[in-house]
Structure 1
């Protein structure tokens, strides 16, 4: 499951529990065991988990951007091209008479 989805689900649960009586019973899965707690005990833990998920998401996004830049630099340094990539990046070739050919086989002057 995506971290963004977990964060969204946590927000929904937190918003719902804020409207509930703090002394009401609720159940939480802890290490595979269903534990009975009260809302006032569970709510701070959920808010902390949501905050940690947000931090992890930001960290992973920044790491992914750094790795993407490193990958692009490596590809440029060693002139690595994927199959079919050259066809997409090349400009349309000029034909005789200075006309360019379009992608649909139509001559454009």
Structure 2
């Protein structure tokens, strides 16, 4: 079981993110509301932006979990490559989030 702990962690995050989308409350809303004025919280573009961001995180968590599970099955759960995959599994959606939010804000500012 220990060999699969990283895959299970990523998989759990994928399930949480997927459920948050299914119930219409993207998990990123809880994070972004800390820095966003309350009047924006109910706006459709604000919610849609968070749906897209959460979907990207969901895909990253899912892909990371699958790759790590295959690596664990192959006996490589504790390799440097497995650690790198975990880092990339968080870094890629993080970079996407920063860039996507900047793009959305720039478009909103242009209007």
Flag whether TM exceeds 0.5 (same fold): no
- Which structure: greater helix fraction? 2
TM-score (norm 2): 0.44
**Which structure ranks higher in relative contact order (CA pairs < 8 Å, sequence separation ≥ 6)?**
2
- Which structure: greater strand fraction? 1
Task: Give the greater-gyration-radius structure (CA).
Answer: 1
